[in-house]
Amino acid sequence: MSLLAVERLDVRYGLLQAVRGVSFQIERGETVALVGANGAGKTTLLRAIAGAHPTTGGRVLFNGAEVTRAPSHQRVCSGLALVPEGRRLFAQMSVEENLLLARAAGRSGAWTLDAVMEAFPNLRVRRKARAGTLSGGEQQATAIGRALMTNPELLMLDEVSLGLAPLAVERVYSSLRTLLTSGTTIILVEQDLTRALRVAGRVICMLEGRIALEGSAADLTRDAVTQAYFGLDKAASAGAAR
């Protein structure tokens, strides 16, 4: 049984259909990179899986149970966590307070406050600092740590490197390296195709709300992913038809 199964999912923003009939499965222990250009539907898809945005069609199953209509807090309690684009921290609260909030999920496991501080050592000296005073990299580390504090079975990371300086990106990924190789199940949205292909076992590329390409990262070339990313193969087919 797959850990996550998405079946023919449709998601709308008013008249705009952002996700169109998307289906895929995630197995336990996989790291899957979800890639695509801006507006491809990646963030909307993750938000729908997490329960932060309603769906208009299809189903989401987690651990074999349908959660399509379950509220987001219930999905967190069942082991599904999202690190949202933009971090969404409580700016006036300290790093430690932001992390401890996640304990409300009530899930036991290896991820404690000390474990997060060990995984993200740059937070240890900043644990009493207000989240709003942190650098971008520190905020991202705090957001990831907060999700880990729920001891998730599936961790979804939306745009880990967005808006970060190259050095900050390296620091965040350095801290994530243990997590990425520990058997934790991860869906990673990443604009950097080279990095995505390097850390993921499987790649799903979205285009205009649909899955344009899916396969093992080891079997896909960067050129094939780039063509699907920008819809170049689709454009070439349309040109040939004319």
**pLDDT confidence of 233, banded at 50, 70, 90?**
low
- Which residues touch 181 (CB under 8 Å, ≥6 apart)? none
Q: Determine the structural domain holding residue 58 and report its residue range.
A: 4-241
Secondary structure of residue 235 in the 3-state scheme:
helix
Beta bridge partners of 22: 9
Q: Which of 29-33, 45-49, 167-171 has the lowest mean pLDDT?
A: 167-171
Backbone angles phi, psi at 168, to 5 degrees: -65, -40
**pLDDT in the model for residue 92:** 93
* pLDDT tens digit sequence for 189-230: 988 888 888 889 999 999 999 999 999 999 999 899 999 999
Secondary structure of residue 18 in the 3-state scheme:
strand
> CA-CA distance, 98 to 210, in Å (whole number)?
35
* pLDDT tens digit sequence for 86-141: 778 999 999 999 999 988 877 888 899 999 999 898 899 999 999 999 998 899 89
DSSP run (H or E) holding 40 = none
Between strands 57-62 and 202-207, the pairing is: unpaired
To 10 degrees, the CA torsion angle through 4, 90, 140, 36? 50
Q: Which of 96-100, 162-166, 169-173 has the lowest mean pLDDT?
A: 162-166
* pLDDT tens digit sequence for 37-69: 999 999 999 999 999 999 999 999 999 999 999
**pLDDT in the model for residue 240:** 38
Q: What is the domain-level CATH number for residue 99?
A: 3.40.50.300
Domain tally for the chain? 1
> CA-CA distance, 239 to 91, in Å (whole number)?
50
CA distances from 9 to 26, 116, 231 (A): 15, 34, 21
**pLDDT confidence of 153, banded at 50, 70, 90?**
very high
